[in-house]
């Protein structure tokens, strides 16, 4: 456990490599992250069936990235709490619950964006 502290990344390429490793770890280890990625693929495939404007796609991208970033942030916070605390503590639960709340709020935001974008397009077929 007493390993030397790793050096700072000296190049952008090395920093990007480790950042990508973090995204891959989130995908591999977090079920909810995989769910959000799957929903992203479905939403963008679904959007191809409609005449989305560049502005519509901008909103979809914002919604998707807010949820994915929130999910990674939630995972970071939960892992840090687990690293610091070995047993149940009400404050640890509070922090984890609030962290999960970030994801919930961003998912609701994204759902509303999806409704605002898709419902008018779907309604043109009725």
Say if residues 71 and 104 touch (Cβ distance below 8 Å).
no
71 labelled ligand-binding:
yes
Total residue length of the chain? 126
Q: Is 21 annotated as a binding residue?
A: no
User: Does the annotation mark 7 as catalytic?
Assistant: no
88 is in an annotated binding site: yes
Annotated binding residue at 97? yes
Q: Which of 7, 21, 29, 71 is catalytic?
A: 71
Which residue, chain included where needed, has tokens 């779907």?
Answer: 122
Can you tell me the distance from the alpha carbon of 51 to that of 20, in angstroms, rounded to the nearest whole number?
Answer: 33
Check the annotation: does 78 bind a ligand. Answer: yes
The closest alpha carbon to 57, from 125, 114, 106, 111, belongs to 114
**Binding site, annotated residues for substrate:** 14, 71
**Binding site, annotated residues:** 14, 30, 71, 78, 87-89, 96-97
Q: List the catalytic residues.
A: 71
**Binding site, annotated residues for ATP:** 14, 30, 78, 87-89, 96-97
């Amino acid at each position: 456990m007493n390993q030397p502290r790793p050096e700072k990344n000296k190049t952008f390429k090395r920093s990007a490599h480790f950042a990508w490793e973090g995204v891959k770890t989130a995908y591999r280890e977090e079920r909810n992250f995989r769910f959000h990625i799957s929903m992203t693929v479905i939403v963008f495939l679904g959007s191809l069936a409609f005449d989305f404007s560049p502005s519509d796609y901008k909103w979809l991208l914002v919604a998707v990235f807010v949820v994915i970033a929130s999910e990674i942030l939630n995972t970071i916070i939960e892992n840090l709490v687990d690293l610091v605390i070995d047993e149940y503590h009400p404050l640890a639960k509070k922090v984890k619950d609030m962290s999960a709340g970030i994801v919930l709020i961003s998912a609701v935001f994204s759902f509303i964006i999806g409704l605002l974008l898709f419902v008018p397009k779907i309604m043109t077929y009725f």
